[in-house]
Structure 1
Amino acid sequence: MPTEPRKHKIDLHGIYPYSILRTDRGPWQERRRYWNDLGLTRDAGRAGREEVETFDPRSLWAREVFNKPGLGTLSTFDPVLAELAYTWYCPSGGRILDPYAGGPPRGLVAANLGYDYTGIDLSPAQIEADLDAAADWAAAGLLATEPTWFCGDAAETLAELPEAEYDFLFSCPPYHNLEKYTDDARDISNMTWGDFAAAYRETIALAVERLRPNRFATYVVGDLRDSAGRLRALPELTVSAFVAAGADYYNDQLLMNVLGSVPARTPKQWKASRKAGRHHQWVLTFVKGDPKLATEVIGNPDER
């Protein structure tokens, strides 16, 4: 017998808003190939781009694609996750604010889909690379809007932006000192954990002030280890910072990344220290105001 059609379509390209997001499954991989084919991975010399293990914003993008020195270290942001977050939580054509922009994928995906994107990054070289990427996409007719990047300290720049003007707050902050991005003393990846936590809380408070009432915010974060191997609870810090800033904790999703090199690394580290092989992160969503009103602003997914 034929199955009864669903009354409400909630999937996007075969990906559902469940509490576990599987980046290793076919629908996710197919959509990632779509974005890659548009030019997110034009550096033909780099293999295995589909097996990204982390999603920290500072990536090898500029160094490998644009051959610009002094940028990034290890990872790049998954464009599929950006597309999902924008579609799930931001009204069509809405204004997106990204306090820790890093590489260009989040801005390019937003502008391709017609959103108004504003990103902030401390590195002048990274901003130059982002603008170069946007210019390439614009020349190819791939941008419906023009993304904006500000170069500067996140807290200082946020304080200069108008309050209650943005429709969605979306970012992937530095994981403390897991990756070093710049030598700038204002770079929170150079700070002690205590100073990092204080600066991080301040930035979140300022960002929430820039968010309109009845809107959502999503941060992609993960735990990290200190020099002694103990886990630093960045997700918990993120939750407490948002709640203190006046945004309610609303959704938590486990992002299961592809294994990549985890099977090769895990046996040695497990035998030496009983450290588990990590291949997940958290996608944490908050709401400023009434979640029902925030959902009404986004609109019916069947009509988007």
Structure 2
Amino acid sequence: MIQRAQTAAPPASDAVHGIRPFSVLRTDLGPWRTRRRSWEELGLHSRRGREHVSTYSTGSDPVSRKHATIGGGLSTFDPVLAELSYRWYCPDGGSILDPFAGGSVRGLVAANNGHPYTGIDLSPSQIDANEETAAAWRDRDLLAAEPRWILGDSAEQLPRLPGGSFDYVFTCPPYHSLERYSDHPADLSAMRWGEFEQAYREIIAETVRCLAPNRFTTWVVGEVRGSTGMLRGLVPLTIAAHETAGARLYNDAVLLNTLGTVPMRLGAQWRASRKIGRHHQYVLTFVKGDARKATAALTS
């Protein structure tokens, strides 16, 4: 069982729970799986509040529909990636901003590790589910800091936050239309690509403004295809938007997910279109200001 967060500084070793900061992060290996199991045993209900979400594959071929149903049809955030990112890039006790909060995982892991967390999300049901789970964790003395979820559009809520007030930005944005979260006009997953790109750039710029000088920000992103089958270029868009906003790309890693149903789906998909079986995401870390000072804040 994971106890309530310790407030001591991160260990001097580059390994956390046997996982080292390599450019390929293996979620299928023993140390990662063991740590994830420890988090899940605490009661991380990562799909609560997301029952209304639909996936792109549900409108696809019968094989894809079948396996989307088998897999639950929804992505879930890995608590180990959240924990590692906080330990590697956020000062001890530093505050965390998440403009696309979604489920409760990132907020609960942050608070368990002693980080005040602010997440923003459009869905009232998701916010309610997150707060209910947080209350249960609070009752079990599993929170060393308080998570806070703000209901609303990040494009409207972020400008209301004071500049330079957060020590780390950590998020996983919508991969455009890969998952459809709602019909809300401000929901990026419901926008056309041009609208998505503009709103996405503006939100990234606001998160960089909210970030304190000499601090890191990490975005977990994946590629998505348009209606013609071409890749949209979400990864280069994320990089370019941060660079424009004043945060330079500092680290890039590949998060290698477990294969799951990918091998079962691949045959028909490959024969019909030569589309590869995708089971990875990109973990992009940027720095605002001086990387040496940002690093010093983690080890002092």
**TM-score of the superposed pair, with normalisation by structure 2:** 0.88
Is the 2:48–2:126 Cα contact (8 Å) retained in structure 1? no
Among 14, 17, 34, the residue aligned to 2:21? 17
Map Cα deviations across residues 47-105 of structure 1 (whole Å, 9 max, x no partner). Answer: xxxxxxxxxxxx63325xxxxx5357611100000000000000010000000000000
SS in 2 for 1:119: strand
Quick check: 1:28 aligned with 2:15? Answer: no
Aligned twin of 2:79? 79
Check 1:168–1:143 CA distance in 2 against 1; reply closer, same or farther (3 A cut).
Answer: same
| Whole-Å separation in 1 of the counterparts to 2:214 and 2:47 | 36
Quick check: 1:60 aligned with 2:56? Answer: no
| Whole-Å separation in 2 of the counterparts to 1:216 and 1:205 | 14
| Whole-Å separation in 1 of the counterparts to 2:169 and 2:98 | 6
Is the 1:62–1:71 Cα contact (8 Å) retained in structure 2? no
Is the 1:71–1:125 Cα contact (8 Å) retained in structure 2? no
| Whole-Å separation in 2 of the counterparts to 1:39 and 1:124 | 21
**TM-score of the superposed pair, with normalisation by structure 1:** 0.87
User: What is the total number of aligned residue pairs between the two structures?
Assistant: 272
For structure 2, list consecutive stretches of 5 or more residues without a partner in the other structure: 1-11, 56-73
Aligned twin of 1:103? 103
Aligned twin of 1:50? none
SS in 2 for 1:225: coil
Map Cα deviations across residues 205-229 of structure 1 (whole Å, 9 max, x no partner). Answer: 0110000000000000010111121
Aligned twin of 1:292? 292
The alignment yields a C-alpha RMSD, in angstroms, of 1.4
Opposite residue 14 of structure 1, the aligned amino acid is G
For structure 1, list consecutive stretches of 5 or more residues without a partner in the other structure: 1-7, 42-58, 64-68
The alignment-based identity, stated in percent, is: 58
Aligned twin of 1:198? 198
Opposite residue 267 of structure 1, the aligned amino acid is G
Map Cα deviations across residues 86-131 of structure 1 (whole Å, 9 max, x no partner). Answer: 0000001000000000000000000001001000001111111111
Aligned twin of 1:277? 277
| Whole-Å separation in 2 of the counterparts to 1:70 and 1:151 | 17
Aligned twin of 2:42? 38
Alpha-carbon deviation of 1:233? 1.0
Opposite residue 245 of structure 1, the aligned amino acid is A
Aligned twin of 2:232? 232
